[in-house]
Structure 1
Amino acid sequence: MHTLAIYGREARAQILSTVRTPQFVIPSVALPLLFYGVMGLGLSKGREEVAHFMLANYVIFAAIAPAMFGFGAAVAAEREAKMIELKQIAPLPAGGYLVGRLAAALALIAASVLLLGGLAWFGGVRMDAWRWAATLGLGLVSTIPFAMIGLNIGLRMGSQGATALANLVFLAFSLFGGLWIPLSAMPEWFGDIAQATPSYHLGRLSQMLSGMQPLANVEQHVTILVAMTLAAVFGAWIAWRRRAA
Structure 2
Amino acid sequence: MTYFKALMKVEWLLTKRGMQSLITCILLPIFFFLFFSSNVDDTVSNRELVRNYLISMTAFSSLGLTFFTLPFSLKEDQVSNRLRLLRHSPVPIWVYYLSKLLRMLLFYSLAILANFAVGHFFRQVDMSAKDWILSALLLLFGELTFMPFGLLLAQLKSSESMSALGNLLYIGLAMLGGMWMPLTTLPDWIQSIGKWTPTYRFHELVTNYLESGKIVNHSFIILVSYSLVTLLILGYLLKQKEVGDR
Q: Summarize the alignment of residues 79-98 of structure 1 with structure 2, pairs less than 5 Å apart.
A: 79-98=78-97
Paired residues, what number? Answer: 239
* Residues 101, 147 of structure 2: 8 Å contact kept: yes
- Which segment is superposed worse, 146-155 or 83-92? 83-92
Match of 1:242 in 2: 240
Match of 1:109 in 2: 108
Match of 1:179 in 2: 179
Match of 2:23 in 1: 26
Is the partner of 1:126 in helix, strand or coil? coil
- Which segment is superposed worse, 91-100 or 107-116? 91-100
Match of 1:144 in 2: 144
Shift of 1:60: 1.3
CA distance in 2, matches of 1:161, 1:11: 28
Which residue identity lines up with residue 39 of structure 2 in the other structure?
A: L
Distance 1:11 1:195, change over 3 A: farther
Q: Summarize the alignment of residues 1-245 of structure 1 with structure 2, pairs less than 5 Å apart.
A: 4-39=1-36, 41-46=37-42, 47-122=46-121, 123-211=123-211, 215=214, 218-245=216-243
CA distance in 2, matches of 1:171, 1:205: 20
* Residues 26, 115 of structure 2: 8 Å contact kept: no
CA distance in 1, matches of 2:223, 2:111: 22
CA distance in 2, matches of 1:44, 1:8: 47
CA distance in 2, matches of 1:124, 1:42: 12
Q: Any unmatched runs of 5+ in structure 1? A: none
CA distance in 2, matches of 1:76, 1:116: 28
CA distance in 2, matches of 1:138, 1:12: 28
CA distance in 1, matches of 2:135, 2:141: 10
* Residues 32, 112 of structure 1: 8 Å contact kept: no
CA distance in 2, matches of 1:65, 1:91: 32
CA distance in 1, matches of 2:67, 2:158: 14
CA distance in 2, matches of 1:9, 1:196: 40
CA RMSD of aligned residues (A): 1.9
Which residue identity lines up with residue 79 of structure 1 in the other structure?
A: Q
CA distance in 1, matches of 2:75, 2:136: 29
Q: Any unmatched runs of 5+ in structure 2? A: none
Comparing both chains, which one has the higher relative contact order based on Cα–Cα distances under 8 Å and sequence gaps of 6 or more? 1
CA distance in 1, matches of 2:59, 2:5: 26
Is the partner of 1:7 in helix, strand or coil? helix
1:150-178 Cα offsets, whole Å, 9 max, x none, are: 11111133211111111111111111000
Is the partner of 2:84 in helix, strand or coil? helix
Distance 1:48 1:172, change over 3 A: same
